[in-house]
Amino acid sequence: MRNVELFIFARVLHVIGIVLWIGGVAFVTTVLIPALRSLSDTRKRFELFEKLERRFALQAKIVTVITGLSGFYMTWFLNAWSRYTDPAFWWMHLMTLVWFIFTLVLFVLEPAFLHRWFSQQAAKDSENAFKWLQRLHVILLTLSLIAIMGAVAGTRGFSFF
pLDDT at 77: 96
Region 54-62: what's the mean pLDDT?
Answer: 92
pLDDT band at 2 (very low <50, low <70, confident <90, very high): confident
Contact 144, 98 (CB under 8 A): yes
At residue 156, what are phi and psi to the nearest 5 degrees? -105, 10
**pLDDT over 70 at 17, yes or no:** yes
Q: For 29-51, how does the pLDDT look when each residue is reduced to its tens digit (9 = 90+)?
A: 999 999 999 999 988 999 999 99
pLDDT at 115: 92
For the chain, give every domain's residue range: 3-154
pLDDT at 110: 95
**pLDDT over 70 at 56, yes or no:** yes
pLDDT at 24: 95
